[in-house]
Structure 1
């Protein structure tokens, strides 16, 4: 397959929900988005505009009412093992230690136990939890649990990573550290990322492009190229004149939609 084929391709997608009382709600309307191989895309928009809905259609959990969603050049047909997902809430098993949590994915995919645990040990070191492999989730801070979640996801070498407000519950300092950790790990994988967030500055600091959605029904209002050099340090890039200029322009777009919503 050609590298020019998008990793993710939304083609004229609309999604309508029918409630129990028979009323129809249009979540997305005529939505188009193509994500290239190795590209980091962020989606922003007001509450209820369909940001998380786009992720659920990439995974196959939701199907478009109209249009098509393609992954790696083919229509989405159920759950794709090449896709990793990081949620807002922790997806760790509370009864398992850190290393047991991280090794679970490779073992589920058929790796021998010894190999899975060697991989897990490597990834625990990569995310800075080398001394905490035997700890349980309740013994970890919020930021440390997010590091476990990143290790759980990246250990499976996903070609596509979907992230639904993964750092929103963290304090600002920890959030900034996790953003840098994400960029560091992602830069070595060649995978594509779709990152949903309410935080405009987070979107600009992380992404190659920012997609702005309108108020419900969500449509693509505008796409912004984030031409800030990489590698980036999120704590310092926010003070660059180009970053500030982009923030003002995108917020002008977003403010209109938030007001409507």
Structure 2
């Protein structure tokens, strides 16, 4: 049996706060992601979901415990990691083609090769014909397609996604979820997808990890035994989907209530 591609073993992350004290974002967090597995992470607002991605990406070192990718402890950004943020990381002064080509160029590919690869991915995400457009000329959904092409053009083996579709309207969001599943299918990439939307987590993932209120640790892990390929909107209408949603929400609701009470106390 192949070892996990990603392992967090008792990982803790502490940050200095503005008051001179120490804030613990995640504590003793343990989870695994296998090659080709799609894992969604849910939890209350501000619990440390994005910090978890930062630890895996090497953007932040763990304060305690271990984070491993391919069996090696993460001390810098591992090879083969693609990161898609909540806010578009497109460069407004560059065309769609040059935005998507920027990753291969940074990795040393020639301009011609990088642009050829970028053009291929622009077509895959449904933006053929928009290569010369600039970000301000695109809709929100189209910019997300550019960001998705930017992330996938380097053929990442690990795909980290931090609420990438949260700013989109409901219809565009559903389209982008289907698009992500289509492009990810068969790639072999492992995905960690952070979201506040439990519907989204279940529709996309093989496994949903529920984090506790801050400082986050893993409360529950739920398998999502829904067949692939999946059509997001059709899936949400099924009895099996509703049953999985009910089970996960029962676990998540308690943490959301705790976070709400903590917020009310701090305001008071």
Instruction: Identify whether the pair has TM-score above 0.5, normalized to the shorter chain.
Output: yes
The match for 2:140 among 139, 142, 150 is 142
Which one of the candidate residues 149, 154, 167 is aligned to 1:156? 154
Contact 2:61 2:75 in 1 (8 A): no
Name the counterpart of 2:193: 195
Which residue number corresponds to residue 25 of structure 1? 23
Structure 1: which 4+ aligned runs deviate by more than 4 Å?
Answer: none
Match for residue 264 of structure 2?
Answer: none
Give 3-state SS (helix, strand or coil) of 1:122's partner. helix
Aligned-pair RMSD on alpha carbons? 1.0
Give the Å deviation of 1:255: 0.9
Deviation at 1:95, TM superposition (A): 0.7
Helix, strand or coil at the partner of 1:130: coil
Residue 213 of structure 2: SS of its match in structure 1? coil
TM-score (structure 1 length as normaliser): 0.97
Whether 1:38 aligns to 2:42 is no
Matching residue within 3, 6, 23 for 1:8: 6
Moved more, 109-118 or 140-149: 109-118
Distance 2:172 2:109 in 1: 33
Unmatched 5+ residue regions in structure 1?
none
What are the equivalent positions in structure 2 for 1:3-152 lying under 5 Å apart? 4-152=2-150
> Residue 177 of structure 2 is aligned with which of 170, 175, 179?
179
Residue 229 of structure 2, aligned match among 228, 231, 252: 231
Structure-2 separation of matches of 1:189 and 1:174: 23
The CA deviation at 1:15 is 1.7
Give the Cα–Cα distance (whole angstroms) in 2 for the partners of residues 181 and 111 of structure 1: 27
Residue 26 of structure 2: SS of its match in structure 1?
strand
Structure 2 unaligned spans of 5+: 260-268
